[in-house]
Amino acid sequence: MHIRLINPNSTASMTNQALESALRVANAATHVSAVNPTRTPVSIEGSADEALAVPDMLSEIRKGEREGVDAYVIACFDDPGLHAAREVAKGPVIGICQAAVQVAMTISRRFSVVTTLPRSVPIIEDIVQAYGAGHHCRAVHAIDLPVLGLEEDPETAERLLVETIERAKLYDRAEAIILGCAGMSSLCDRLAKATGVPVIDGVTAALKIAEALVGAGYVTSKVNAYDFPRQKGPAPADVDLPLIAANS
């Protein structure tokens, strides 16, 4: 099977990091490729960034459809354009927030989310509520560090994450922690070891869910809501975007 990881922002180093995280858990027979657009914001930090990223993300999915990709992982915790992506794709499209929430609800009764900036807190609260997990989510915390700061100052990022997770364990009584940014995926194992609490990375969670769905033969329903978009005039002039990394 071929699973494509799409980072909706234009930072290639973040795409490569997410791919490395996915490859650590992928089955040997699974081909995983990763790509990011080049004309989108360098990071997605709010609704305006999401809106700017979605058109090129959908173009990349249309390209994947022509290449026979079996499933897609949207590697942004806000799950931007997820429903639109499911209209475009034949196979499953997995958002890393939804995947992480599903895993957290399976392995714990109560969880908390740790993200980057305070502005992301209400956005994530709304998404978690929309996924039916509001009662299970104790809190959403921000370490007050921009997304790109995760790469620019990794030592500070890891320290803030450990401190915030420890507080969530104590004050939220959280039984699991979700990392609320794809850029945190490389820290997952170290954070779990340092804090003694299950730490869930949405990239790896989404990759394994995508593998399971494709392996079981499930595809996206094209009855009503997720049916392919109706053609209204000329087909979109998609631009082929560069493939950032891939494994065989």
pLDDT digits (tens, 9 = 90+) for 161-171: 999 999 999 99
Radius of gyration (C-alpha) of the chain in whole angstroms: 17
Measured CA to CA, the distance from residue 99 to residue 42 in angstroms comes to: 23
Query: Would the CATH topology of 2-95+204-246 be identical to that of 97-202?
Result: yes
- What length is written for the chain? 248
Q: Does residue 84 register a pLDDT over 80?
A: yes
Residue, of 235 and 171, whose pLDDT is higher: 171
Buried b (16+ CB within 10 A) or exposed e, 78-107: bbbbbebbbbbbbbbbbbbbbbbbbbbbee
For the domain 97-202, what is the CATH code? 3.40.50.12500
Q: Which of the two residues, 122 and 245, has the higher pLDDT score?
A: 122
Burial class (CB in 10 A: 0-12, 13-18, 19+), 136: middle
Domain boundaries, the chain: 2-95+204-246, 97-202
* Single-letter residue type at 88: V
Is the pLDDT confidence value at 243 over 60? no
Mean pLDDT over 178-194 rounds to 93
Whether the pLDDT of residue 19 is over 90: the answer is yes
Alpha carbon 33 to chain centroid, angstroms: 15
Share of the chain above pLDDT 90, in %: 86
Confidence of residue 153 (pLDDT cuts 50, 70, 90): confident
Backbone angles phi, psi at 198, to 5 degrees: -60, 125
* DSSP state letter for 62: H
pLDDT by residue (tens digit) across 192-218? 999 999 999 999 999 999 999 999 999
The topology under which CATH files domain 2-95+204-246 is Rossmann fold (3.40.50)
